[in-house]
Amino acid sequence: MTLSAQPIVTERAVPQRRVLAARLEPFDSYWQAPANIEAGYSSFAAYYRANYLSHLPADKSTRILVVSCGPGYLVNVLAQAGYKSVVGIDSDPAKVEHARRRNLPCEAAEAFPYLEKCRGEFDVIIPEQELNHLTHEETIEFLQLCHDALRPNGRVIVYAMNGANPFVGAENLAHNIDHFYIVTEYSLGQLLQLGGFRDIKPFALKLYVFWKNPLNYVGLAVTSVLELGMRILFRMYGKKVSVLSKKVAAVATRS
C-alpha cells in the first residue's frame, strides 16, 4: 500500500512579550499626561519646543522615532515644526488612540521588540519617558538597540532624574517604586557610552518655559540662584557638576 505524502506543518516562532522591571509605570508608555489629555497638546508644546527642537537636524526629512509617545504630544510638536518623517510608538493602545484621532503617525508597539526589528532606519530616536524607569541593565540594552536602529551619525536624545540636585534627587528615587536609579550628567554619559554612543553632550531640561504664566519668571529666578549656589558648593567639594536641574538630558551620536 502506498502512503500519500503528508504536508509537513512547521510552527512559526511567536515573539515573546518582553517583561521589563517596571510594573506600574512601564518605560515604553507615557505617564506624564495631564488628567485632561486633550489639553496637553497645547500645554506641553512649549516644553518640547524649548528642550528638543534645538538638538534636532535642520533637515525636515530627518527620520525620527519617538519611543513612549503616549497621546503624541512630542510627535505633534515635531509635525508642527515641519518634520515630515516622524513615527511614535507606545505600548498602551488606549493612549495611542488619542494620537490616531488627531491623525498623528503613532502606533501601539513595545519598545524593545520594535527596536530589535529596526537596523539603521532612523536619524534620531527620542524616548519621552525617563530612562530610570528601566534598570541599569535594561537601560544599556535599550541604548544598544537604539544605537543599532540609527543610521550612521544618527543621534539619540534621552533624559533621566538628576541625582545631583540635593533638593529633589533623593525624593525622585524614593517616591516611585518604578524609579530604579538616578543619574548625574557624568553617569548618564557612562550609560550612553556603554550603549555605544560618542560625542555625548549633557544638558538641563528646562521646566520654566511657559511664559504666559508670571509665576514661571519667579520660579526661573529662584531656581537659577539656588543652582548657582549648589554649583559653587560642589566645586568647593572638588566636584565638577554643571547640570543641577530636576532632570538631566543628553544628546549623543552613534559611533
CATH number for the domain spanning 99: value is 3.40.50.150
Q: Is 105 part of any domain?
A: yes
Contact status, residue 45 vs residue 198, Cβ threshold 8 Å: no
> What pLDDT, in 10s, does the model give residues 39-55?
999 989 999 999 999 99
pLDDT in the model for residue 147: 98
Q: Is 59 part of any domain?
A: yes
Confidence of residue 167 (pLDDT cuts 50, 70, 90): confident
Cα–Cα distance, 30 to 40 (Å, whole number): 12
Confidence of residue 10 (pLDDT cuts 50, 70, 90): very low
Q: Is 19 part of any domain?
A: no
Q: Is 226 part of any domain?
A: no
Q: Which residues of 90-109 are buried (b: 16+ CB within 10 A; e: fewer)?
A: bbbeebbebbeeeebbbebb
Question: In the predicted model, what is the mean pLDDT of residues 77-95?
Answer: 97
> What pLDDT, in 10s, does the model give residues 208-255?
777 677 877 788 788 888 888 888 888 888 888 899 999 999 999 998
Q: Is 109 part of any domain?
A: yes
Q: Which helix (H) or strand (E) holds 219?
A: helix 215-236
Cα–Cα distance, 204 to 231 (Å, whole number): 13
Confidence of residue 17 (pLDDT cuts 50, 70, 90): low
3-state helix, strand, coil in the chain (%, to 5): 35, 20, 45
Q: Is 21 part of any domain?
A: no
Q: Is 9 part of any domain?
A: no
Per the structure, the complete domain to which residue 106 belongs is given by 40-161+176-207+246-254
Q: Is 61 part of any domain?
A: yes
Number of domains in the chain: 1
Structure-block grid coordinates of residue 12:
512559526
Is pTM beyond 0.85? Reply is yes
Angle at 180 between CA 30 and CA 118, to 5 degrees: 50
Strand partners, 64: 86, 124
With a pLDDT cut of 70, the percent of the chain lying above it is 93
